[in-house]
């Protein structure tokens, strides 16, 4: 297709705050030689999942439920990644523009297990509604876009941590927390495990298949797989920030102010930008007395640069304190607000994208073609487009063997990454990767050689909607 316009590219508009600080340039300090070492093997398994975010949890649970011996490695003390530790508690659209739930399977199970008191969002009968009053009501609650009500709930992050742990334990996954992958184990072009560091020292885990759910493709990049890293600095999906929660608020008062006093609201926002600079509106949470701030969204920083991320943390904390002072002084419902929590995990939207056997591309959105190796269906970013078919090939490195990718670093272009990085899509690709990894281990084959009909049949049996006609599954 021809050159994309800004309207073609950008579907979710928000303030993007261009970098003001200077990039830190550390002078070269030479090198040191590390001695060769013998690294103890911590354990062996069928499937090793690296990273316990939404895609990692889904991959581990799906693989274990499929009969594989699974190890899940996570560097924090909790599971969930940005969906919990990052306070990205708004779960973006799981229904399409007609209101049909298209991201299901483990995603639907997770939402059901959370329980009504941990979820806030439109009732099932409202999904897909274009009624102006309903759309206006839910648009203020991050659950209606382009005049359509969607299944986009906000959730209690602590309860979601608990649900993740329950599902992992029930599935029999060998969970290792407080440990960070530092190097792949590669033999003849095939990943056969990973080395991790912890308080216990340096150890290795060997596996038939490794699922990279690190978020930035740390494993496959270190193992030599090709990846893309181009970004559009004007696009919010490539910004970095650390989120926070304010408690002691009355969100109903705030929403009434925003809805019924548009001139006063516009003046408030203008004054906030003049006073604070990078200024953000609060989003609703799972309860009325807690407000969510997912910004300010900072462009020009790298999710792969430790000095950049340190600077973002500092600027986000300073911004949080400035927001608190301004909101307490000027915002209806925020007079007694206090800082409940700053996210323990920085919100990195983009680092690397795999160069895979296939890619999800912006140029294919209009046609809405169904991929023959479809492993999931994603809602499109706008009612202008049909649902997006997610192919298995987007999880498979072009040449590197023994590894699958899932989550926000699968193979796609920069535009498609804008929605494929969201939490429901991470559940979708994680479930597919875990199921495929278990099949590969069970049949002693490479992940790229997994029988697609068998994989699709397994996903369908798990409640994942797929549109391909089912052939007889091989015995």
**pLDDT computed for residue 1 by the predictor:** 39
How many residues make up the chain in this entry? 475
**pLDDT computed for residue 24 by the predictor:** 72
Q: Are residues 211 and 297 in the same domain?
A: no
Residue 256 domain-assigned (yes or no): yes
Q: Are residues 300 and 369 in the same domain?
A: no
Q: Are residues 271 and 316 in the same domain?
A: yes
Chosen domain end from 320, 348, 376: 348
Residue 297 domain-assigned (yes or no): yes
Picking from 167, 78, 100, 191, the residue whose alpha carbon sits closest to that of residue 427 is 167
Q: Are residues 86 and 139 in the same domain?
A: no
Residue 467 domain-assigned (yes or no): no
- Which residues, including other chains, have CB under 8 Å from residue 326's CB and lie 6 or more apart? 272, 275, 276, 279
Containing domain of residue 315, as a range? 236-348
Chosen domain end from 110, 137, 152: 152
Say how far apart CA 323 and CA 300 lie, in whole Å: 22
Q: Are residues 114 and 136 in the same domain?
A: no
**pLDDT computed for residue 265 by the predictor:** 98
Q: Are residues 310 and 425 in the same domain?
A: no
Q: Are residues 216 and 363 in the same domain?
A: yes
Q: Are residues 92 and 188 in the same domain?
A: yes
Q: Are residues 302 and 369 in the same domain?
A: no
**pLDDT computed for residue 7 by the predictor:** 47
**pLDDT computed for residue 385 by the predictor:** 96
Q: What CA–CA distances, in Å, run from 223 to 59, 186, 218, 274, 361?
A: 20, 7, 9, 47, 25
Spans in the chain with pLDDT lower than 70: 1-20, 232-237, 469-475
Q: Which residues of 125-141 are buried (b: 16+ CB within 10 A; e: fewer)?
A: ebbbbeeeebbebbbbb
Please work out, in degrees rounded to the nearest 5, the angle formed at the alpha carbon of residue 53 by the alpha carbons of 467 and 320: 120
Residue 23 domain-assigned (yes or no): no
* 228-280 residue pLDDT tens: 988 766 666 678 889 999 999 999 999 999 999 999 999 999 999 999 988 99
Residue 25 domain-assigned (yes or no): no
Say how far apart CA 67 and CA 353 lie, in whole Å: 29
Q: Are residues 300 and 199 in the same domain?
A: no
Q: Are residues 86 and 204 in the same domain?
A: yes
Report how far apart the first and last C-alpha atoms of the chain are (Å, whole number).
43
Mapped onto helix, strand or coil, the DSSP state of residue 45 is: strand
**pLDDT computed for residue 450 by the predictor:** 98
Q: Which residues of 148-170 are buried (b: 16+ CB within 10 A; e: fewer)?
A: bbbbbbbbbbebbbbbbbebbee
**pLDDT computed for residue 210 by the predictor:** 98
Please, which residues bridge with residue 73 across strands? 50, 176
Chosen domain end from 318, 348, 378: 348
Q: Take residue 308 and report the two structure tokens written for it.
A: 């950049």
Cα atoms in the Cβ-side hemisphere of radius 13 Å centred on 236: 13
**pLDDT computed for residue 45 by the predictor:** 98
Q: Please tell me the total count of domains within the chain.
A: 3
Q: Are residues 259 and 403 in the same domain?
A: no
**pLDDT computed for residue 233 by the predictor:** 63
* 371-421 residue pLDDT tens: 999 999 999 999 999 999 999 999 999 999 999 999 999 999 988 998 999
Q: What CA–CA distances, in Å, run from 269 to 86, 258, 323, 464?
A: 25, 10, 12, 42
**pLDDT computed for residue 18 by the predictor:** 63
Q: Which residues of 7-19 are buried (b: 16+ CB within 10 A; e: fewer)?
A: eebbbeebebbeb
Q: Global pTM?
A: 0.93
Residue 207 domain-assigned (yes or no): yes
CATH of the domain at 270: 3.30.70
Residue 2 domain-assigned (yes or no): no
CATH of the domain at 371: 3.50.50.60
**pLDDT computed for residue 180 by the predictor:** 96
**pLDDT computed for residue 475 by the predictor:** 46
Residue 36 domain-assigned (yes or no): no
């Amino acid at each position: 297709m021809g050159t994309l316009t800004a309207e073609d590219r950008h579907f979710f508009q928000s303030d993007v705050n261009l970098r003001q600080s200077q990039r830190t340039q550390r002078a070269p300090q030479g090198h040191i030689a590390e001695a060769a070492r013998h690294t103890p093997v911590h354990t062996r398994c069928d499937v090793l999942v690296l990273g316990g975010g939404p895609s990692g949890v889904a991959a581990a649970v799906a693989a274990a439920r499929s009969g594989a011996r699974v190890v899940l490695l996570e560097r924090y003390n909790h599971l969930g990644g940005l969906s919990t530790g990052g306070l990205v508690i708004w779960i973006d659209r799981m229904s399409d523009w007609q209101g049909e739930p298209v991201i299901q399977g483990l995603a639907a199970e997770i939402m059901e297990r959370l329980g009504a008191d941990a979820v806030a969002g439109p009732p099932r009968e409202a999904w897909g509604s274009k009624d102006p009053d309903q759309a206006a009501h839910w648009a203020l609650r991050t659950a209606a876009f382009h005049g359509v009500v969607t299944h986009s709930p906000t959730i209690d992050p602590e309860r979601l941590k608990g649900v993740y742990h329950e599902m992992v334990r029930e599935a029999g996954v060998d969970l290792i927390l407080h440990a960070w992958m530092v190097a792949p184990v590669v033999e003849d072009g095939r990943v056969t495990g990973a080395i991790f560091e912890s308080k216990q020292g340096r150890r290795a885990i060997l596996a038939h298949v490794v699922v990279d759910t690190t978020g930035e493709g740390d494993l496959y990049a270190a193992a030599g797989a090709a990846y893309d890293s181009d970004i559009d600095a004007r696009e919010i999906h490539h910004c970095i920030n650390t989120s926070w929660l304010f408690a002691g608020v009355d969100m109903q008062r705030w929403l009434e102010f925003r809805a019924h006093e548009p001139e006063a609201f516009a003046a408030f926002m203008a004054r906030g930008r003049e006073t604070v600079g990078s200024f953000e509106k609060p989003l609703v949470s799972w309860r009325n007395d807690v407000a969510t701030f997912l910004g300010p969204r900072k462009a020009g920083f790298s999710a792969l640069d430790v000095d950049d991320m340190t600077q973002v943390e500092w600027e986000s904390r300073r911004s949080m304190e400035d927001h608190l002072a301004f909101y307490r002084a000027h915002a209806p419902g925020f007079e007694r607000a206090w800082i409940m929590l700053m996210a323990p995990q920085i919100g990195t939207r983009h680092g690397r994208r795999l160069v895979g056997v296939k890619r999800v591309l912006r140029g294919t959105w209009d046609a809405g073609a169904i991929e023959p190796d479809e492993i999931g269906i994603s809602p499109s970013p706008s009612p202008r487009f049909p649902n997006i078919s997610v192919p298995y090939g987007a999880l498979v490195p072009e040449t590197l063997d023994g590894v699958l990718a899932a989550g926000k670093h699968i193979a796609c272009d920069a535009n498609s990454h804008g929605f494929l990085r969201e939490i429901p899509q991470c559940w979708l690709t994680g479930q597919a990767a875990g199921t495929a990894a278990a099949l590969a281990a069970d049949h002693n084959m490479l992940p790229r050689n997994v029988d697609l009909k068998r994989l699709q049949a397994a996903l369908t049996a798990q409640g994942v909607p797929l549109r391909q006609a089912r052939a007889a599954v091989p015995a």
